[in-house]
Structure 1
Amino acid sequence: MKIHHLRALVAIASTGSINGAAKALYVTQPAITKAVRELEAEFGVRLLERNQWGVVPTAEGAALVSRARTVVREMERAEEDMAHLKGLRDGSLVVGITPIVGTVGLTDALVEFRKRWPRVTLEFRELGFNQLNEQLRNRTLDLAFAAFAKPMADSGSVKEMFSFETVFVTRANGPYACADSLEALQDAEWIHTDVTESYPAFVRTLYERAALAPPHCITRCTSYALFYSLTQSIDAVFAWTRHSLETTELGRSFVQLALPVVPPQLQLYLLSPPETQLTRPAEYLLDCIARAIEPMLACP
Structure 2
Amino acid sequence: MKFNSIRDFLAVAERGSLRAAARQLGLAQPAMTRSIQELEKELGAVLFERRAKGVQLTPMGEVFLRRAKAVRSEFRRAQEEIEQLQGATHGHIRMCLSSVAHMALLPNALGPFRQAFPNVTLDLFDAVLPRVELELTGGTMDFYIGPILGEVSGELTVEKLFDNERVILGRKGHPLSSARSLRDLEGAEWVSTSVTHRAEDELSPLFKQHGLSAPRLVVQGHSALTFFFTVAHSDLLTMLPQQWVQVPLFKGFLQKIDVQESLAAPPICIVRRTGLPLTPAAEYFCDMIRRAALHMDTLTS
- Cα displacement (A) at 1:26: 5.4
- Cα displacement (A) at 1:232: 0.7
Which amino acid is the alignment partner of residue 269 of structure 2? Y
**CA distance in 2 between partners of 1:290 and 1:53 (Å):** 50
Pair 233,44 (structure 1): closer, same or farther in 2 beyond 3 Å = closer
Which amino acid is the alignment partner of residue 197 of structure 1? D
Corresponding residue for 2:289?
A: 289
Pair 256,58 (structure 1): closer, same or farther in 2 beyond 3 Å = closer
Which amino acid is the alignment partner of residue 78 of structure 1? A
Corresponding residue for 1:201?
A: 205
- Cα displacement (A) at 1:136: 1.4
Query: Retained in 2: the 8 A contact 1:245–1:252?
Result: no
Q: Does 1:50 align with 2:46?
A: no
Corresponding residue for 2:84?
A: 84
Q: Structure 1, unaligned stretches of length 5 or more?
A: none
- Cα displacement (A) at 1:71: 2.0
- Cα displacement (A) at 1:92: 1.5
User: Given the two structures, how large is their TM-score scaled by the length of structure 1?
Assistant: 0.82
**CA distance in 1 between partners of 2:259 and 2:10 (Å):** 54
**CA distance in 2 between partners of 1:164 and 1:26 (Å):** 51
- Cα displacement (A) at 1:141: 0.7
Q: Does 1:229 align with 2:229?
A: yes
RMSD: 3.0
Pair 265,137 (structure 1): closer, same or farther in 2 beyond 3 Å = closer
**CA distance in 2 between partners of 1:5 and 1:90 (Å):** 27
**CA distance in 1 between partners of 2:143 and 2:207 (Å):** 32
Q: Structure 2, unaligned stretches of length 5 or more?
A: none
User: Given the two structures, how large is their TM-score scaled by the length of structure 2?
Assistant: 0.82
The Cα offsets for residues 205-243 of structure 1, whole Å up to 9 and x where unpaired, read as 33x2xxxx658x532421244432221123344323222
- Cα displacement (A) at 1:51: 2.9
**CA distance in 2 between partners of 1:152 and 1:44 (Å):** 36
Q: Does 1:218 align with 2:222?
A: no
Q: Does 1:62 align with 2:62?
A: yes
Query: Retained in 2: the 8 A contact 1:154–1:160?
Result: no
SS at match of 2:119: coil
SS at match of 2:42: helix
Question: What is the number of residues matched between the two proteins?
Answer: 293
Pair 21,199 (structure 1): closer, same or farther in 2 beyond 3 Å = same
- Cα displacement (A) at 1:95: 0.8
Which amino acid is the alignment partner of residue 199 of structure 1? L
Corresponding residue for 1:242?
A: 242
Corresponding residue for 2:93?
A: 93
Query: Retained in 1: the 8 A contact 2:96–2:128?
Result: no
Q: Which moved more, 1:190-199 or 1:117-126?
A: 190-199
Q: Percent identity?
A: 25
Query: Retained in 1: the 8 A contact 2:159–2:270?
Result: yes
**CA distance in 1 between partners of 2:126 and 2:219 (Å):** 16
